[in-house]
Amino acid sequence: MEVQETEVQTDRVFTIPNLLSLLRLLGVPLFLWLILVQEADLWALAVLALSGITDYLDGKLARRWNQISRVGELLDPLADRLYIFSTIVAFVLRDIIPLWFAILLVSRDVLLLCLVPILRRRGLISLPVHFLGKAATFCLLYAFPLLLLGIGDGTLHTLAQVFGWAFAVWGVALYWWAGVLYVEQARRLLRTGVAAEPEDEHDQ
């Protein structure tokens, strides 16, 4: 019954979860302006925190209200990737994270991006999102505000640095683990030519 309700609503566009994803997308240039131009770190921190909250809410509400849509399935990961990429660029420019850490993160997405034309030649548009990839994104979206809060001296800043880097390390590890699983998933799809069902969709 639940699967049928989801399928009926796959073409809906104007939903609250999609609006939340759109707001997250609009927040990307605002975040870059705050952190790079104004160097208003507290406001930039608020935008980052809000992006993490809305990332949780859009998926939660979409499942609870049966508002999962094809548009949402595109907007949500797009907003995640843009936030992660823009934050990496801003943090490198502000010397908050080292360049090698940024390269480690970006290279994973470059690897998966190389799979897109190969999959499309076989008629496959995208790979289903699984729980591990979402867990990695959550870790990174928690790590970035903490690392930004960790700028400065004092106990609070030190604790933010420690927990921020803990989330960052776990996020990168899960990010690459999910990337390896995506590559394996793509290999199976290319072999069979049949689209696979999303894994653990109820946990996303």
Check residue 97 and give its pLDDT: 92
pTM of the model: 0.74
Average pLDDT for consecutive 10-residue bins of the chain (204 residues)? 43 74 87 90 87 77 72 76 88 92 89 77 64 83 89 88 94 90 80 53 39
Residue 30, Cα to own-chain centre: how many angstroms? 18
Cα(54)–Cα(144) distance, integer angstroms = 15
d(CA 176, CA 189): 20
pLDDT for residue 147: 92
CB of 161 closer than 8 Å to CB of 150: yes
Strand boundaries in the chain, DSSP class E: none
Q: What local confidence, expressed as pLDDT, does residue 81 receive?
A: 83
pLDDT for position 12: 66
pLDDT score recorded for residue 13:
67
- Where along the chain do its domains lie? 2-203
CATH classification for the domain delimited by 2-203, as one of 1.20.120, 3.30.160, 3.30.360, 3.30.420: 1.20.120
Q: Which of 12, 82, 24, 81 is nearest to 50 (CA)?
A: 24
Whole-angstrom distance, CA of residue 197 vs CA of residue 130: 10
Backbone torsions φ then ψ of 126, nearest 5 degrees:
-155, 170
3-state secondary structure of 98: coil
pLDDT confidence of residue 193: 58
